[in-house]
Amino acid sequence: MKLFRLMKLKMNSWAILSFLITIIIMMPILFITFEFFTRSSENWEHINEYLLNSYLFNTLLILFFTGLLTVFIGVSMAWFISAYDFPLRGFFKWGLILPLAIPPYIGAYTYNGILNYTGVIQSILRNFYQIEVNQKYFNIMSIPGAIFIFSVFLFPYVYLITKNFLENQSASLVENARLLGSNSFEIFFRIVIPISRASIVAGVSLVILEVLNDYGVVKYFGIQTLSTAIFQTWFGMADLGSAIKLSGILMMIVVVILMAEKWLRGRKKYSYSNSKVRPLKPVKLTGYKAWAIFAYISAVFLLSFFIPFIQLVKWTFTTYKQVLSDEFIGLIWNSTFVAFTAAAVIVVIALIIANFSRLFEGRVTNLVSKIVVLGYSIPGAVIAIGVLTLFIALDRQLLIFYQLIGLTPSLVLSLSLSMLIFAFVIRFMAIGYNSIETGFDKIGTTFTEASRTLGMTVTQTFFKVDLKMIKGAVAGGFILVFIEILKELPLTLILQPFNFYTLATKAFQYAGDERIQEAASASILIILISGVSIYIFHKVLEKEPG
Amino acid sequence: MFVQLKNVSFHYKNTKELTIQNFSLAIEKGEIVSILGKSGSGKSTILRLIAGLEIPFSGSIHINESIMADDKQFIQPEKRGVGMVFQDYALFPHMTVAENIKFGLKKMSRIQKKERLDEVLALVGLKEYVKRYPYELSGGQQQRVALARAIAPNPSVLLFDEPFSNLDAELQIKIRDELRTILKQTGITSIFVTHDKMDARALADRVVVMEEGTIFRVGEPAEVLNNEFTMSPVPV
């Protein structure tokens, strides 16, 4: 009786909507899991026997060294910035986040354009100094090259999380170690690294998920990895079965990584909101030490942002006349349209589920909110294959209906933009959801309760009180999702309808056609818009404590 | 009896321990009851149960002879006609004083709403402040707006959760006396929760002392509060 009453109390329209949405969001992944075990494919044996090992080896090799390098760069930057004062520290503190505005695939073709035979370095050497270099040393299109690209453009994830931790949480430990007479090296290796383990792990797992999601860099460099293999089996061989199997394997790597993250992080959270935050006071450095650190950080900044950015600006100036046409306006429209639609859907869904899970706390609601954000750790190619499988199956089911209303093509949904937008919703839900959840956390539940004792239902309260109070978080979430979608590549490449291009996919196509300079305008636009996103995220949404 | 709780038990989701154990209390119409207890004694939970913000684990709650909650039924907070003044007032920051107070007035014409607004504003003495936003008011003024907002829809019961905890000592005494006058003037049945014996003594017709989720003592303020018992010392 009691259970029945509880169920009746909790089964309101918010709950029903939330469950429905969750199921729909889970469908593609469930499809992959199911088909992974059941579907056979003719090419799979061949792939499994001859190719899979090298796909796996390349993927893991890139993951391992990128992880190592990003930890090295990210942690050292974080420590220098938070513990020492040196020339331009204030600038670098923010400047070192900027590389995140450059998607690695754009970085990849920009660097290739800088280093190749016609690029700025070789031209200068040839024309002014008559030096012909050995092309071998200037070829970035290799596995080490990919590791370099990923490391310089993704290290800010490690830097940011570790820096925030060190700045706000480490003061007493570090100061005590100083008082006990430890020198800088001892402090770094015996105090800083161990205490920031959880933050480092959190940062590097973001890096690894980004690398697993990447298709642009490895494809452009011609490296065979799991994600390029998924594309090849689908586009080259139209072999959905093998693509699903490869996606399943990629998913397993993700699961292992998420489990490893949990285990390595231990029970520590990488940021605990402590009201008594005491910032670490940086020590002023002078003389050669100050300049050595300055030189190291400048070098990283130049490589990871300044040089590629300036190169793209220069190319934009030389090519914008050819590029800026109606077609370019069309690209901007396409990108804006899909990003706007998907971001709007995401915000609405996130509002429904976040409100449901905060008002009806419990194990089930907890699970719902965890499932909804799962998509962010799943590589774009995997989501794309899952969505594709689902939509093709849907089209088969709807075939009779299509014939009834007189549509001739057998594939309607799976050739439409709705498929792409659905995939975006799954992949980027976490960004919108987290932003809105933070908004709800900040206002708490008292206002809602006050409204209900004044005679408003949950839904009336939502529109009159809750929504108005968190509109900042809603807008923030919308913008972050919008921008993330604008620069998205792998999902869009697989799921974009025929003859439909976005800024990102067109830039990538130009680069692939050896027209790197023409890719610059779209790339610069993407970088500038991403810059706005970074600014909003760090200045507006996460107000720095202390 | 106007408000009646019978054998109410309750526990929060993440604990197995009962926050409220077999709690029974009957309150007459127009009575002002204060629930006194240390933090963690479950006194605020009683208010939340009466308001319908928590669902009792067992037992029943009646207000004005209708069932609010028992084993079979549960009336949602918005249907109960219970007003509540929250500890931190919970004034909607995006609404003016007038909008806050009119928020709970439904099924009224615009003129009726305006009349009711003027009435309650006069009651709490804040007529000049209608157009201000909550953050433009002092703590004492916010408190009074919260009271006006809760009274406006004519609730059958009014609940106060530590109403004076955010006010300084001098203001506390002033507002306390005003509050008693207002409550007696309107005749609303009121229950307020406090940890301060002076509040309880100054306001209540009857005092309920709670410890560990059950009633430790009930009676008139003088008789309950003058006896020695295991409570924290009276704050000066």
Query: Does B1-81+155-229 carry CATH code 3.40.50.300?
Result: yes
What is the ipTM for the molecules in this complex? 0.88
Q: Which whole-number Å values give the CA distances from A200 to A71, A78, A216, in the listed order?
A: 7, 10, 26
pLDDT in tens, chain A (546 residues): 455 556 566 667 888 899 999 999 988 888 888 888 877 777 788 887 778 889 999 999 999 999 999 999 999 999 999 989 999 998 998 889 899 889 999 999 999 999 888 888 888 888 888 888 777 778 888 999 999 999 999 999 999 889 888 887 778 788 888 888 778 788 888 888 888 888 899 899 889 999 999 999 999 999 999 999 988 888 888 788 888 888 889 889 988 988 888 888 766 554 444 445 677 888 888 888 899 999 999 999 999 999 999 999 999 988 878 777 888 889 989 999 999 999 999 999 999 999 998 888 778 888 888 888 888 888 888 899 889 888 888 888 887 777 777 766 666 777 788 999 999 999 999 989 988 998 898 888 999 999 999 999 999 999 999 999 998 889 888 988 998 898 899 999 888 888 899 999 998 998 888 888 888 888 998 999 888 877 777 665 554 432
- Please state, as a whole number, how many other Cβ atoms lie within 10 Å of the Cβ of residue A175: 14
Residues in chain B with CB shorter than 8 Å from the CB of A456 are: 78, 103-104
Query: What percentage of chain A carries pLDDT values higher than 90?
Result: 35
Which residues touch A348 (CB under 8 Å, ≥6 apart)? none
Q: Do residues B77 and B51 make contact, with C-beta atoms less than 8 angstroms apart?
A: yes
**DSSP of A318-368, one letter per residue?**
HHHHHH-SHHHHHHHHHHHHHHHHHHHHHHHHHHHHHHHHHHS-SHHHHHH
Residue A118: what pLDDT?
81
**DSSP of A205-271, one letter per residue?**
HHHHHHHHH--HHHHHHT---HHHHHHIIIIIT--HHHHHHHHHHHHHHHHHHHHHHHHHHTT--S-
Whether the pLDDT of residue B108 is over 50: the answer is: yes
- Note whether A465 contacts B: Cβ–Cβ < 8 A: yes
Enter the tokens of residue A40.
């056979």
Class of residue B186 by CB neighbours under 10 A (exposed 0-12, middle 13-18, buried 19+)? middle
Element of type H or E holding A284: strand A283-284
- Note whether A450 contacts B: Cβ–Cβ < 8 A: yes
Residue A147: what pLDDT?
97
Judged by CB atoms within 8 Å, which residues 99-128 of B form the interface with A? 103-104, 106
Residue A277, amino acid = V
Enter the tokens of residue A352.
């429904």
Among B74, B93, B150, whose Cβ lies nearest the Cβ of A469? B93
Closest CA in chain B for residue A361:
B13
Best A11, A447, A454, A462 residue to mutate vs chain B (most B CBs within 10 Å) = A454
Closest CA in chain B for residue A445:
B90
Among B74, B94, B104, whose Cβ lies nearest the Cβ of A454? B104
Paired sense of beta strands B58-63 and B189-194, if any: unpaired
Closest CA in chain A for residue B71:
A2
Residue A146: what pLDDT?
96
pLDDT digits (tens, 9 = 90+) for A257-293: 888 888 887 665 544 444 456 778 888 888 888 999 9
Closest CA in chain B for residue A443:
B90
CA distance A517 to B27: 81
Among A9, A446, A469, whose Cβ lies nearest the Cβ of B86? A446
Give CATH for domain A42-308.
Answer: 1.10.3720.10
CA distance A47 to B110: 74
- Indicate the pLDDT class of residue B28, thresholds 50, 70 and 90: very high
Say whether A1 and B149 touch across the interface (CB within 8 A).
no
Residues in chain B with CB shorter than 8 Å from the CB of A446 are: 86, 88, 90
- Strand-pairing partners, residue B5, are B25, B61
Q: Could you tell me how many CB contacts below 8 A there are between chain A and chain B?
A: 67
Q: Do residues A416 and A398 make contact, with C-beta atoms less than 8 angstroms apart?
A: no
Say whether B55 and A6 touch across the interface (CB within 8 A).
yes
Residue B227: what pLDDT?
60
- Note whether B56 contacts A: Cβ–Cβ < 8 A: no
Query: Taking the domains of chain A in order of start, what are their residue ranges?
Result: 42-308, 349-498+531-546
Among B92, B106, B150, whose Cβ lies nearest the Cβ of A447? B92
A182: three-class secondary structure by DSSP = coil
- Note whether A469 contacts B: Cβ–Cβ < 8 A: yes
Best B103, B116, B142, B149 residue to mutate vs chain A (most A CBs within 10 Å) = B103
Among B72, B90, B106, whose Cβ lies nearest the Cβ of A450? B90
- Please state, as a whole number, how many other Cβ atoms lie within 10 Å of the Cβ of residue B15: 8
Q: How far is A298 from chain B (nearest CA, A)?
A: 46
Say whether A454 and B86 touch across the interface (CB within 8 A).
no
**Which of A366, A421, A415 has the alpha carbon at shortest distance from A394?**
A415
Q: How far is B35 from chain A (nearest CA, A)?
A: 20
Residues of chain B with CATH 3.40.50.300: 1-81+155-229
Class of residue B128 by CB neighbours under 10 A (exposed 0-12, middle 13-18, buried 19+)? exposed
The secondary structure of residue B74, as a DSSP letter, is B
Residue A267: what pLDDT?
61
Say whether B150 and A453 touch across the interface (CB within 8 A).
yes
pLDDT digits (tens, 9 = 90+) for B142-184: 999 999 999 999 999 999 998 888 778 888 888 888 888 888 8
Give CATH for domain A349-498+531-546.
Answer: 1.10.3720.10
